[in-house]
Amino acid sequence: MSIMRDHLEPIHAAACGRRDVLRIAGAVAASVAVTGFPLASFAAQTASRPRMKIGIIGAGRIGGTLGELWVRAGHQVLLSSRHPENLKDLAGRLGQLARAGTPREAAAFGEVILISVPYGALPQVGRDFADELRGKVVLDTANPFPYRDGTVAEQARRKGTGVASAELLPGVRLVRAFNTIPFTVLRGDAHRAGDRIAVPLAADDPEAMEIASRLVEDAGFEPVVVGALARAKDFDFGTSVFGKGLTARELPQLLGR
């Protein structure tokens, strides 16, 4: 199976809770790009925060959109695919902070890694890039669908994706993130005025959770810290919060918090 195949499901929906005092101003809404989110640069508004190098393994609908949002927040991003030539137009449009490469190059490049591939590809990612990923903060967006991903997805459904993904990606500082928010919401509602769309997070590493929370904010959403990786099952496929664009007020209510 190609690890670069885009998600086939209506992906990712969201939640948030921890509010940072550095909220990016809602007034940027005046000018909206053809792509669906504001063109205005958010880097100047987050200038006091250090920039990160982010490697994206799987720059499809989710990975590509997040890559664009993070570049606009001032981060350096390497978008990857088995066919990086297909990403050159996107990287070129994003400017000097973005470039295209292979998945291995992305894994080596990033201080933080976003993995956005079909769940059945996670074992291959964990094997092939173990050295490059070891010790890094890894944001995992993948959702297990047995009809598509086979036995590994069935096991993940039983265990919960947080626990299962940690086994498939040993040695990383894993965070479950951006797995519930629909792609259309991710692209259309970033940095929106008023209550922001929430992104639920689960991790065992407190520092990794902090980094992920900041990147959720930089992308234009609001993080909701659900708990340890074992709690990721609370926002897995089939739960009441999956596939919905919920605000930070709505999400905790459906999570029973």
> Regarding predicted confidence, which is higher, 255 or 40?
255
Enter the DSSP assignment of 229. G
**Cα–Cα distances in angstroms (integers) from residue 225 to residues 39, 64, 147, 179, in the given order:** 29, 24, 30, 14
Least confident range of 34-48, 96-110, 194-208: 34-48
* pLDDT interval class at 20 (50, 70, 90): very low
| Nearest Cα to Cα of residue 173 among 218, 224, 213, 134 | 134
* pLDDT for the residue 3: 46
Reply yes or no on whether the pLDDT at 99 is more than 60: yes
| DSSP class per residue in 16-74 | -----S-PPPGGGGGSB-TTSSB-S--TGGGTTSPP-EEEEE--SHHHHHHHHHHHHTT
Domain ranges of the chain: 12-255
pLDDT at 81: 87
Read off the tokens for 60.
Answer: 């499809």
Provide the percentage of residues in the chain whose pLDDT is more than 70.
81
Average pLDDT, the chain: 85
Length of the chain: 257
SS3 109: helix
Mean pLDDT within 175-182: 96
Residues 141, 116 contacting (CB under 8 angstroms): yes
For the cut 50, the answer to whether the pLDDT of residue 250 exceeds it is yes
Q: In the predicted model, is pLDDT for residue 169 greater than 80?
A: yes
- pLDDT at residue 151 is higher than 90: yes
How far apart CA 144 and CA 176 sit, in angstroms, is 13
Tell me the H-state helices in the chain: 61-72, 88-94, 103-109, 122-128, 130-133, 146-149, 151-159, 161-168, 183-188, 206-218, 250-255
Q: Residue 29: is its pLDDT beyond 60?
A: no
Which CATH number is correct for 12-255, 3.90.420.10, 3.40.50.720, 3.30.70.380, 3.30.413.10?
3.40.50.720
Nearest to 161 by CA among 183, 137, 139: 139
